[in-house]
Structure 1
């Protein structure tokens, strides 16, 4: 696309903020690839549909010949981004951050092209900073400026603590832009303050200030809060098609158009049709939700996988049949004693609960079934379990095959 005005208009589609106005077109007119920065703090392993909103925009820049500069915040993740938070975030260990970073980068390549991609870890320039370097950074910003940020302002007014470390976070993120000489930084709307700090810091270091471009935040499956792994209201881009489709079908009708607009490749006319159908409620809203869910699953897994996922959803939730391809597993011998199965231990061993307390909570809440019948006791007869289909929640199934040896409870 050789016309800077047309290219700027294309790249600006869907953006919430572009600061300063008109600067994107001016830089595109220079006829060189822009360095477009996108930062990821690996505080968790999964890439969600929420992250994918900005990542897909980054891919659009790549497709037009620009360089995606991916900043993996292996240093800043140890602090944790306080954006939008009402309390101080706990710090992560180096080992946890490193493991998360490895998983994140691999998933990002599902969206980004390996061509025109530069991956940098911000520990490269932040770890060498000594006390003098940190003090030089802090000299460029005041406490009053930091308190202009909405979340800091609310916490300060409410008497909630703000650590000095959290004040440092926007400056360290801004220094990333200095280190890679970013032309433009891309992210969610909650990052606008940090992006503007980066403009000020680049100017202080004698660089041309970057353009700040933000994309809308995707609300999570609860329909209320920002999509977040910590809140459990997310869809990961690497989730299996059936899981992804099932989660999307749990979305409130009022959010279907938003997901169609931000998380799929559906055109705006189709999105408008889905929005109108969702507003009518009833069967039209249900069909709109299915269309959206198919489109999102197809984007990451292909059309055939999306059709298969919809069929699996119908078998399980419309016709109330068990899935066609249930995996088989044996109850661990250590969960059996005196002809009875200790379900909390078995659920943990089978990967269907994160801990025994989690398993007990699931049983108490009616979330565990054997052959479709709710289980209320923590111990059940072996004869009831062997050969039965064990179900946890709505989408986790395993068919229990016999075991040869019996052990004792752990």
Structure 2
């Protein structure tokens, strides 16, 4: 039974949406009572999904809640080619091996199930594009390539920018495989018979190409929902693992809470619109940005970890940062060493992502040993039981001697 509630349809068409092609057509379909096939494609280029990925997944959940069929398209084949979209600065995206792709997508379903009901077969379907591309012959590919025009691909701003960069640097940057990527993504829509495709604003060209290829191959063109992109923790760039400005869906409740509390104030309402279920107007009534962020952080933790963990994360954050107390549960790092170079200790214990990261944070005054600020990155630490180290604002360890 398809739900045609007008308020819920309006939320699908508005919250977090940048543009729709064609809006009148999609609205009519949603009111028709017919089950729609709603496609979202994702290439497993990384093992972790972050809050930026949650935006299309949450939009899919809105369709699923109305009874429509979500078609999750895992681009296990196209990930080995590389989507040129979003590489930025005219760079070529790294190409992954089949082994890397398999490793990356190993835990995808566990992460996706935090948002979508993946067990309900009537409203959820998973497809992998190796199903058709893995069997495609060269003859099949050239037959498909005949319906795509180079002039239309070159009209895409991203490809134009890459060509300009090639001219300036006098070297080749744009590969033929990347040039065919929009065609392959479009053909995915044909193979899953998509009525609707959802994706980020940066995927508009590829999704509209899907409409065109569907028509040329005798299918009705999919409607397209282009969603707003999430700015990362740096407040400048799109959320991305490569930029280190992401919040991962599998992050702990305390990490999610703390990271949300660190976002610039000007992102509060954008995050509310894209990531939370609460009323933006209600949060606007709260005068203090710090308290607005606290409401947002608690709500997002609740979505991924539950109400109890959200309350615990809030209490721990307030205890550590407002009341200046130590967290209740501090991770333990065991060692049998008598002395430890501080950079090695910070890296080996998992506090720092690298020794350069450790050095940077020490220079910035962000490392404390038993409440004393560490200023010398060459320092040798004498290991004593129950010594506490703070790294940055949110990371702590307690040292235990083996």
Shared fold per TM-score greater than 0.5: yes
Q: Which runs of 5+ in 1 are unaligned?
A: 278-283, 404-410
**What pairs up with 1:117-266 in 2 under 5 angstroms?**
117-159=124-166, 161-266=173-278
- Write the distance in 2 (CA, Å) between the matches of 1:366 and 1:401: 24
User: Which residue number corresponds to residue 112 of structure 1?
Assistant: 116
Please report how far the alpha carbon of residue 138 of structure 1 lies from its aligned counterpart in structure 2 after TM superposition.
2.1
Q: Does 1:58 align with 2:60?
A: yes
Going from structure 1 to structure 2, the CA distance change for 1:388 and 1:29 (only over 3 Å counts) comes to closer
Asked if the contact 1:182/1:210 (under 8 Å) is kept, the reply is: yes
Root-mean-square deviation (CA, aligned residues, Å) is 2.2
Please report how far the alpha carbon of residue 124 of structure 1 lies from its aligned counterpart in structure 2 after TM superposition.
1.3
User: Which residue number corresponds to residue 13 of structure 1?
Assistant: 14
User: Which residue number corresponds to residue 84 of structure 2?
Assistant: 82
User: Which residue number corresponds to residue 281 of structure 1?
Assistant: none
Asked if the contact 2:361/2:367 (under 8 Å) is kept, the reply is: yes
Please report how far the alpha carbon of residue 182 of structure 1 lies from its aligned counterpart in structure 2 after TM superposition.
0.7
User: Which residue number corresponds to residue 316 of structure 2?
Assistant: 312
Range that drifts further, 286-295 or 36-45: 286-295
- Write the distance in 1 (CA, Å) between the matches of 2:166 and 2:153: 16
Going from structure 1 to structure 2, the CA distance change for 1:307 and 1:181 (only over 3 Å counts) comes to same
**Residue aligned with 1:159, SS:** helix
User: Which residue number corresponds to residue 28 of structure 2?
Assistant: 26
User: Which residue number corresponds to residue 369 of structure 2?
Assistant: 370
Please report how far the alpha carbon of residue 9 of structure 1 lies from its aligned counterpart in structure 2 after TM superposition.
2.9
Question: 1:133-165 CA distances to partner (integer Å, 9 max, x unpaired)?
Answer: 222222222222112222222222343632211
Please report how far the alpha carbon of residue 358 of structure 1 lies from its aligned counterpart in structure 2 after TM superposition.
4.5
- Write the distance in 1 (CA, Å) between the matches of 2:299 and 2:393: 22
Task: Provide TM-score, normalisation by structure 1.
Answer: 0.88
User: Which residue number corresponds to residue 170 of structure 2?
Assistant: none
Asked if the contact 1:47/1:104 (under 8 Å) is kept, the reply is: yes
Please report how far the alpha carbon of residue 70 of structure 1 lies from its aligned counterpart in structure 2 after TM superposition.
0.3
- Write the distance in 2 (CA, Å) between the matches of 1:2 and 1:394: 46
Please report how far the alpha carbon of residue 219 of structure 1 lies from its aligned counterpart in structure 2 after TM superposition.
0.9
Q: Does 1:70 align with 2:72?
A: yes
Asked if the contact 2:341/2:381 (under 8 Å) is kept, the reply is: no
**Residue aligned with 2:316, SS:** helix
- Write the distance in 2 (CA, Å) between the matches of 1:141 and 1:117: 31
Range that drifts further, 2-11 or 135-144: 2-11
Question: 1:321-344 CA distances to partner (integer Å, 9 max, x unpaired)?
Answer: 22111122312x3xx3xx422334
- Write the distance in 1 (CA, Å) between the matches of 2:392 and 2:220: 53
**Residue aligned with 1:102, SS:** coil
Question: 1:255-309 CA distances to partner (integer Å, 9 max, x unpaired)?
Answer: 11111111111124225446xx4xxxxxx22222222222222222223322221
User: Which residue number corresponds to residue 399 of structure 2?
Assistant: 400
Please report how far the alpha carbon of residue 131 of structure 1 lies from its aligned counterpart in structure 2 after TM superposition.
1.8
- Write the distance in 1 (CA, Å) between the matches of 2:401 and 2:280: 53
Question: 1:148-201 CA distances to partner (integer Å, 9 max, x unpaired)?
Answer: 222222222343632211111111111111111111101111111101111111
Q: Which runs of 5+ in 2 are unaligned?
A: 168-172
Asked if the contact 1:59/1:111 (under 8 Å) is kept, the reply is: yes
**Residue aligned with 1:91, SS:** coil
Question: 1:35-90 CA distances to partner (integer Å, 9 max, x unpaired)?
Answer: 10011111112221111111111011111111100011111112222213331111
Asked if the contact 2:359/2:377 (under 8 Å) is kept, the reply is: no
Question: 1:326-384 CA distances to partner (integer Å, 9 max, x unpaired)?
Answer: 122312x3xx3xx422334433432333444554554455443321223324452435x
Task: Provide TM-score, normalisation by structure 2.
Answer: 0.90
- Write the distance in 2 (CA, Å) between the matches of 1:59 and 1:3: 15
- Write the distance in 2 (CA, Å) between the matches of 1:381 and 1:214: 53
Please report how far the alpha carbon of residue 238 of structure 1 lies from its aligned counterpart in structure 2 after TM superposition.
2.1
Asked if the contact 2:3/2:67 (under 8 Å) is kept, the reply is: no
Asked if the contact 1:184/1:211 (under 8 Å) is kept, the reply is: yes
- Write the distance in 1 (CA, Å) between the matches of 2:25 and 2:63: 15
- Write the distance in 1 (CA, Å) between the matches of 2:255 and 2:6: 41
Asked if the contact 1:261/1:271 (under 8 Å) is kept, the reply is: no
